[in-house]
Amino acid sequence: MRVLVIEDEAAIARVIRRGLEQAHYRVDVAENGAQGLKMAMEGGYSLLILDLMLPGVDGWRICEELRSRRDRVPILMLTARSGLEDRVRGLEMGADDYLPKPFEFPELLARVRALIRRDKVHKTRHIRIADLEIDTAQRRVWRAGTEIALSHREYDLLEALAAHEGQVLTRETIQERVWMDEESYSNTVDVYIGLLRKKVDAGHAVKLIQTVRGAGYTLRRPEEDER
């Protein structure tokens, strides 16, 4: 796993590099903002450690630039001042976490590990079935590249089906998972399946949401039951 450290203070960069290398990360260091931004844009890093006060292009600018390019690499900001304003501004610009200087290395390492772990969880929570894509972290859905606007319930229902791709879920199971113990009418599931079909399947040759007579519903690629 590669980590990019953008830090102009050589002594701090050295401490971070040594510590992370001992923890088996591969570390690149950029000593100024312009170089750091260039390296970050080349990609391949699991995490960025970004100092705010840098000569030339500062940390905020780097963060803003990467996020405007839809680069979601986790960013840990190092803030020299403990001022709340710096932190808020950093988080607003898309940083994931911040660490005020001076810091102890174990604290930095703990943050690094947490951010990388969190990023992995997010990445694996991307469901793709045929041309249907679901980002469960953001609760967003696309079909053939076009985003579909779903209500809260419609989304929950779709995610429940998609998380069990190819398995038949009974109405009772769906009711329990999506509506929990709320009161709902006996045909609620069918009504919502109808709504979901209009949004997800209508206009597409391939119908992903399928009724299994007498059993319930399933979401799968149709070629699986044609064989």
Determine contact, residues 171/190, Cβ cutoff 8 Å.
yes
Instruction: Return the range that interacts with Ca ion (CB under 5 A); candidates 5-13, 166-174, 182-190, 205-213.
Output: 5-13
Q: Does 58 bind Ca ion (CB under 5 A)?
A: no
Least Å distance between CB 221 and Ca ion?
A: 52
Output the DSSP codes for 194-225. Answer: HHHHHHHTTT-SS--EEEETTTEEEE--THHH
Structure tokens at 205: 């040759």
Contact 208, 159 (CB under 8 A): no
Q: Which residue is nearest to Ca ion (CB)?
A: 53
In the shown chain, the binding pattern of residues 23 to 52 toward Ca ion, with x for contact by CB under 5 A and - for none, equals: ----------------------------x-
Q: Is residue 53 part of the contact set for Ca ion (CB under 5 A)?
A: yes
Please, which residue, 53 or 127, has the CB nearer to Ca ion?
53
Report the nearest approach of Ca ion to the CB of residue 101 (Å).
9
Nearest to 8 by CA among 109, 61, 80: 80
Residues 6+ apart with CB under 8 A from 107: 99
Q: Is 210 helix (H, G, I), strand (E, B) or coil?
A: strand
Residues 7-26, one symbol each (x = binds Ca ion by CB under 5 A, - = not), give: -x------------------
Where residue 44 falls (left for φ over 0; alpha for ψ -120 to 50; beta otherwise) is left
* Number of shown-chain residues binding Ca ion (CB under 5 A): 3
The DSSP call for residue 129 is E
- For residue 111, the tally of other CB atoms under 10 A from its CB is 19
- Inter-residue contact 136 to 190 (CB < 8 Å): no
What is the smallest separation between the CB atom of 78 and Ca ion, expressed in angstroms?
A: 8
102 upstream amide cis, omega within 30 of 0: yes
Q: Which stretch binds Ca ion (CB under 5 A): 6-14, 59-67, 93-101, 144-152?
A: 6-14
Nearer CB in complex with Ca ion: 51/154: 51
CB of 107 to Ca ion, least distance (A): 18
Least distance from C-beta 53 to Ca ion, angstroms?
A: 4
In whole angstroms, the minimum distance from the beta carbon of 55 to Ca ion comes to: 8
Instruction: Enumerate binding residues for Ca ion (CB under 5 A).
Output: 8, 51, 53
